[in-house]
Structure 1
Amino acid sequence: MRCSRSGFFTVFSLVAAAAAPLPSAQAASSAIPAWLKPHIGEGDGQIALPVLERARALYFSKVAEGKVKNSCYFAMDATRPNAGTDGTSSGRFYTICEAQQSFRVISAGHGSGRNLPGAANFSNGRLCAKNFGNALDSNLTAGGPYLTSEIKTSFKGYYHAGAKQEAVLTRSFVQFDGMGETANARQRAIGGHAAAKVAGICMKKKTDSPYANRDGLVPLGNLVTYAGGRSDGCTSWSPSDAPQVLAMVKDNPTTVYIYPESQDIKAVAQSVAAGRASSTSRPYWNESCLKEIGTPVFWPKEKLEPVIARYKQDHPAPPPKPIPMCDNASN
């Protein structure tokens, strides 16, 4: 079966694909299969060739090592824009199941980065990512190889779901384990989750709730989804796509390859500095985003972590303010 970004895939079919037999050893060592080639390119709903080649190489190497038995693998192209020309979320996260000839593209957020006035500005806009890195507390996306690991689900709060109606937001998070420059992914709490949170919180008395604190209070606010926005460095999917992706890797790890890595960023930056405007004369980067950002930057942890530590020392966080109580008349 083949799948596009039209969204007709069900959780059941995705889980079945992930649990299906692995591609043959011959397929693992062969060139890109014919059914997958039409999906290669830099257009909407396609995957750039360098991203696919690296994602396949990582996946089949981990299958050969016996670390992955999942018949699907993931890739992400963080050089692509996070929104289409119509302002809707744009696809740049790929789920590929070669044995079933399935290919799907969904949205994913990039790391927001941070602006530390007087110290360093490594913040990113909503549309395209300019800054990348692997430093703790940087909120940056770090490209490279990852393996999915355990899934944890946590309570995020209650939110208004209609006239005098409230619903619970619980969010599941799949931990990524990185390799090489991404080896500190667990320290950074890097993984994947739904792009949803509860904002504008007040505390409400709800003694019958299993989530109530010792005073019988629960957080209540408004549901905010940000599939077209930024993250703290994690891979964030739309709330409708996240359950499907998480179901694919529950107790069944697979690989995640995120492009670009540090060497790609440095090579593109050198090409831009040398005035190589043509995409054929420099390493791959999405054309529209390169025009948007100018020159990409990689911030290594060895350089950035001391800067962040000094800034935190010079600018200690103020004591936390108590969360206000809800106005029962309106809540």
Structure 2
Amino acid sequence: MLLRSLTSHTVHILSFIIIVALAGLPRAFAAETKSDIPPWLRAHVGNNNGQIAPVVLQRARALYQQKVSTGEVKNPCYLAMDATRPSSFGPGKLGHRFYVICEQKRSFRAMTSGYGSGRNLRGIANFSNGRRCAKNFSNAEDSKLTTGGPYITREDITSFKGYYRVSSKKTEPFLRTFIQFDGEGDTANARPRAIGGHPAVLLHASCRKKDPKNQYADAEGYVPYGKLVDYGGGRSNGCTSWTAAEARTIIPILKQNPTTLYIYPESSDIDAVATAVKARRSLSKAGLYWNASCLKEIGTPKFWPKETLEPIIAKYKKDHPPGPSRPLPICKR
């Protein structure tokens, strides 16, 4: 009887130790131990285009459930992005690596999204990314690179960018909405970096017209005119960018209704994959993930921590000061 009591007591102590140990593990690892994904959603899990990798979904769900439980998020949908996937599979075939998941409605949407282009500071450091796959990641300001990790969507800001021509006789104002992100950990500086989500469309201003009564006129009474440039599925300055059509679906979901966004990979994932690649170890056997097509293309991924990269960027700026700004020319017609 005494032995049975001691054994039971020992089991309870061990159970408590295990629970405490698991509670101290990183959030990402804890999320990966979950297996409560509903069957309808499990059907969308995989490595093919239009599917979501298991680790990306598991971490995105864990982040969402955590923020819902604390009352910080009430939105019925959550977001995820896999920045290791390719932007395209050939001419006219865009890659889908951004996900909008609404479990109450059993809705799963895979969409395109841009990643950070990075920069090539010639003679100092090259942390640029190609058009198809991302090799470099960073949380440094002015790096123009993507940072993986947890985010929460915040306020939306719509701003005037200029006028563009829709026909030979008609022009329209281009207004673009930006969704601000807040982060934590590596992504904690998302706001000072102006990291968020927006349509992958910009206005390339070519001239300006005097129109002081125009509601969008600047202090001198001018408004810019230019041409719309659509870079859907391409690269961004570090933000999450969507095609114009997809943005019309995503932005209404997020307006005045914050939700979570989880972007893979985090810095620890990048470092672990880089170590495995250099050692020529199998990622799957090591319990790691990276899109195979992009890994073959980029070789070894790299995370540039802000503590390392920001001083490099600052030195480059000091050595290469910008020239004097020039106003846009006056439109001829």
CA distance in 1 between partners of 2:71 and 2:234 (Å): 36
Equivalence for 1:56: 61
Structure 1 residue 119 displacement after superposition:
1.2
8 Å Cα contact 2:208-2:222 kept in structure 1:
yes
- What pairs up with 1:154-303 in 2 under 5 angstroms? 154-277=159-282, 279-281=284-286, 283-303=288-308
Equivalence for 1:316: 321
Structure 1 residue 65 displacement after superposition:
0.8
TM-score by length of 2: 0.87
Q: Tell me which of 49, 71, 77 is aligned to 2:76.
A: 71
CA distance in 1 between partners of 2:213 and 2:111 (Å): 38
**CA displacement, residues 63-102 of structure 1 (integer Å, 9 cap, x when unaligned):** 1111111111000000000112334322110000111100
Structure 1 gaps of 5+ residues are 1-28
Structure 1 residue 276 displacement after superposition:
2.1
CA distance in 2 between partners of 1:88 and 1:159 (Å): 27
The share of aligned pairs that are identical, in percent, is 59
**What is the count of residue pairs matched by the alignment?**
300
CA distance in 2 between partners of 1:209 and 1:161 (Å): 19
**CA displacement, residues 125-176 of structure 1 (integer Å, 9 cap, x when unaligned):** 1100000000000000000000011111100111121212211110111100
Could you tell me which amino acid in structure 1 is paired with residue 262 of structure 2? Answer: Y
Following TM superposition, the consecutive aligned residue runs of length 4 or more in structure 1 with deviations greater than 6 angstroms are none
Equivalence for 2:123: 118
8 Å Cα contact 1:271-1:282 kept in structure 2:
no
Three-state SS of the structure 1 residue aligned to 2:130 is coil
Name whichever of 314-323 and 210-219 sits farther off.
210-219
Equivalence for 1:26: none
User: Whose radius of gyration is greater, 1 or 2?
Assistant: 2
Could you tell me which amino acid in structure 2 is paired with residue 254 of structure 1? Answer: T
CA distance in 2 between partners of 1:290 and 1:206 (Å): 52
Structure 2 gaps of 5+ residues are 1-33
Could you tell me which amino acid in structure 2 is paired with residue 167 of structure 1? Answer: E
Equivalence for 1:108: 113
**Structure 1 308/317 Cα, relative in aligned 2: closer, same or farther at 3 Å?**
same
8 Å Cα contact 2:138-2:146 kept in structure 1:
yes
1:47 equivalenced with 2:73 (yes/no): no
Three-state SS of the structure 2 residue aligned to 1:245 is helix
**CA displacement, residues 239-278 of structure 1 (integer Å, 9 cap, x when unaligned):** 1111221111111110000000000000110111011256
Could you tell me which amino acid in structure 2 is paired with residue 138 of structure 1? Answer: S
